[in-house]
Each structure stands twice: as structure tokens, then as C-alpha cells.
Amino acid sequence: MDLYSQIVKLLKDPESALFFNMPFVGITICNTQGTVLCVNKTHSTITGTSDWIGKNFYDLVRSGYVSDSSTIKIIETEKEIMLEQRLGNNKSYIVRGFPVFNQNNKLCYILSYLMDITQLQNMKEDLERMRRKVNCFQSLEANRIIFQSRKMQQIVDCAQTIANSDATVLITGESGVGKESIASMIHYHSYRKENPFIKINCNAIPASLLESELFGYEPGTFTGGNKQGKAGLVERADTGTLFFDEIGDMPVELQVKLLRVLQEREIRRLGGYRDIRVDVRVIAATNADLPTLIRARKFRQDLYYRLNVIPINMPSLRERPEDIPGLVSHFAAIFNEKYGKIKDFRPSALESLMRMPFEGNIRQLRNLVERLFLLSPADAIEEEDVLKATADDGRGKKTLPEPSSDNLKAVLKNQEMELLRSLFLQYRSSYKIAALLGVNQSTVWRKLKKYGLLRK
């Protein structure tokens, strides 16, 4: 039995027939004269032609119906080959051909696989859409808002109501209250959810670099800059959402350009002469008192009104202690998985946490939960563990004051000083202390100076 008869017999086998008729891939078998001996059903479906058997690729190329042929090239070179092929239906295909040799190492057949480039592109686009949906789901999960309080319910309801609009949003509140999470929730509940969500921390980028980072620059603008120029963050956010964190720290001279983005939906790169249209939604956040900055001429009043279309004021954690148990449970699940532990909090420990002031808000709470996970010896975290982690200066256990104390303010001040003293003796770095407590480094530095701890 010759090789072709073996192939035909093989194709009658159910498993081989399943392979031979797999979707998206057209298969042809030709002889050494370039004549088609066999094709699968998919090949006919992809090319839209059913009468391939008996056709010769030399004739097809001469007639112009086939632009190029892997079969002919393999007959000439006896090597496998991949090429792009255009047929008379004006469609392009990727074809990969393989030489088939007999026992005497002589070429006897050519096996080719064909795939529709348009179909491949559609599959790629489908995969990309699926990837964006998965990323969107992961972002929604990562930015899930944990709350029980009525105050937060009102904020979440408001965010979901305005999410699908293009209205500018100004989120205010103390550091660490979750302003970025609300901004993310607004984006991922909007029709822009599959498009970019660009975060810009106006305090983290030096003022000298902020303009080029935001608006980009044309070729040759800077010595040592990208020779092709560079698109700024505003440009990259086109069709998506721009989130300006710490908007109160934006230099006044750049506020004018941001105002133009909001009013005209246009930008101009540094060193450029043409205006570039951008379709972006702007969400801004700050822990600063913008009206005070306006009076001090550090923030433009017209920009403030442009940003403050939808105001959202985030309450501090002190104003919603009923949210603390849910947040602790959420963080505990994260750290149980991260550190391979099975720990939980006793009710008395949760009550102790609910009495704490949490100046660093949710960020400080998360850091404290992680610290308790690492330092608490038992799987059940007790009130004593919380008190020790927050108020032990190394010389003995301190107890938190009762909320009913007459001199509560003075006691809390003393407690804060003792805590900072203990941490400064241990870490000798305001940056490390700030990271541990979940507050700004400048806040820690100011308090260390206030209590005279730096001199000691």
C-alpha cells in the first residue's frame, strides 16, 4: 500500500478524522506534480471554494488565482516553508507546508496547513477583549469597597450613580481613607472600563518633570530626550479616565493647562505647535483644603469649580468605626494567604481596634493588621496583642485610655508621644515609621520634632 493510500485509510479513523477536520485550519495534500489530492472540509469553508481536488498549483499561480504556493516551493526545495498567500477571493492566508518523504527518503507528498489571517486577527481581538474583561474584573475585585456604615453606603451609591457619565469628580478626605478606591470603582463601573485608567500622583512627580510627564514633548525638545518625542499621560489616557491624586500639590502654572484639558479637551506637547484632541474623564482627589489654597493663591478658583462638578467627601475611619471589623476580616484573609497562616481576631481585639483614632485611616489599619499577623504568637489575636503592638515602649505594657477620660486629649497626646518614642528608638527613621503607621513621612517628622524626640 502506497503512502497516499495509508493517509486515506488513516483519515477514516475517527480520531484522525477529528484532527483532519479541526476548526480554523485548512489542510491540503498534494503530489509532487503540485496536484491537489485531498482537502479537509475546513479548507473549503475558509477559502469559500469546494472543488480543490484535481486542481494544480502551477496552473493556479499562472492564472493569478493563487499569489504564491508553498507546495511549489517545497517541490523545488524539499524544505518546509511558511508564507502569506492571497487567493482570488481577495483574502489573505497564512500557509505552512511540510514535505513528506517515503522510505527511500524521496519526496512523495506535500502537506499544507492554511489559516485565514482575518480570522486570526478576529481571534486575537476576541482574546484581547477577554483579557480586558478579566483585567476589569480583577480591578473591580482589587478595588472592592469594604463597608457597613451608612455614610459609606451613601458614597458608594453616589459613585455608582454618576459612574456612567463624563462628569468631573472631586474626591476629598484625609490621607488613607480610600479616595483612590472610589476613583477606581467609578472608572470600572463606567462605559470606559475597558480603556486606560491612568493614575497621576501630583506630589510624587517633581514639579520640573510633571509638565512633560503630563503633556509629553516633541522630538528635539530636550537634550537626551526620546528622539521620537513622547506622548504624555493625558494622551495615553485617551478614551479612558485620568485620576489626579493630591491635585492640591499641582503647580499653579500647570493648573492652567489642566483647565484647558477640561474645557477644550485639547493638549499641546512641549515644543509642539499643533493641538491634540483627547477624550478623557477626569477624577481628582486631595486631602488639602482647596478653598484655603485658593485664598493663598496656590490653587486656581476656576479650576476648582471645573473639578468640583461632583463632590465626594470621604469620611475618616474614626467617623465610621462600624466598618473596621469588615476591613480587618478582609485584610486578615489577604495576610492569611500571603503568609500561609490561619489567624483571626477575637471580638475583644476588634473592639479595641474600633476604639483607636486611626489618623492614617484604612492604610494605617492595614499596616497594623499585618504587624499583628507577624508579631502575634498565637493563631487567635487577642486584645492584649493589639495593646502591645500599639502602645508598648519596651519597658512594660501600656493600656489605651477609656473614651470617657476627663483629660482624654492630654492622655492621647502622651500615648502618641510614647508610641513615637518607642518606634524611633527601634527604627531611627521617620520614613520607616510612616510606612509602619500608614501616615505621611512629613507628619511623623513634624511630630517627632514637636515632642523633642529628634534631639534625643
Q: Which range is least confidently modeled, 8-22, 129-143, 321-335, 395-409?
A: 395-409
Which residues, including other chains, have CB under 8 Å from residue 320's CB and lie 6 or more apart?
147, 149, 151, 152
Q: Which range is least confidently modeled, 111-125, 211-225, 423-437?
A: 423-437
- The CB density around residue 332, as the number of other CB atoms within 10 Å, is 20
| H helices, E strands: number in the chain | 20, 14
Domain ranges of the chain: 3-122, 143-315, 320-380, 401-456
pTM of the model: 0.59
State which fold the 3-122 domain adopts.
Beta-Lactamase (3.30.450)
Which residues, including other chains, have CB under 8 Å from residue 257's CB and lie 6 or more apart?
211, 214, 215, 267
Domain with residues 143-315, CATH architecture: 3-Layer(aba) Sandwich (3.40)
CA angle 16, 19, 21 (to 5 degrees): 110
pLDDT tens digits for range 201-247:
998 888 878 899 999 998 887 776 777 888 999 999 999 999 999 99
User: Which region, left, alpha or beta, applies to residue 455 given φ > 0 means left and ψ of -120 to 50 means alpha?
Assistant: alpha
Q: Residue 395: its pLDDT value, please?
A: 37
State which fold the 401-456 domain adopts.
Arc Repressor Mutant, subunit A (1.10.10)
Phi, psi of 111 (to 5 degrees): -105, 125
13 confidence band (pLDDT: 50, 70, 90)? low
Nearest by Cα to 412 from 358, 375, 449: 358
Distances (CA, A) of 216 to 226, 231, 258, 354, 397: 10, 5, 13, 46, 55
406 confidence band (pLDDT: 50, 70, 90)? very low
Beta bridge partners of 283: 169, 243
Nearest by Cα to 3 from 114, 111, 113: 111
Mean pLDDT of 322-336: 91
The answer to whether 28 and 112 have CB atoms below 8 angstroms apart is: yes
What dotted CATH number matches 320-380? 1.10.8.60
The answer to whether 287 and 249 have CB atoms below 8 angstroms apart is: no
> E strands along 133-220, which residues?
169-172, 197-201
Mean pLDDT taken over the chain: 84
Comparing 8 with 160, the larger pLDDT belongs to 160
Q: Residue 290: its pLDDT value, please?
A: 95
Residue 406 corresponds to which cell in the numbers above? 476627663
- State how far the Cα of 388 lies from the Cα of 384, in Å rounded to an integer: 6
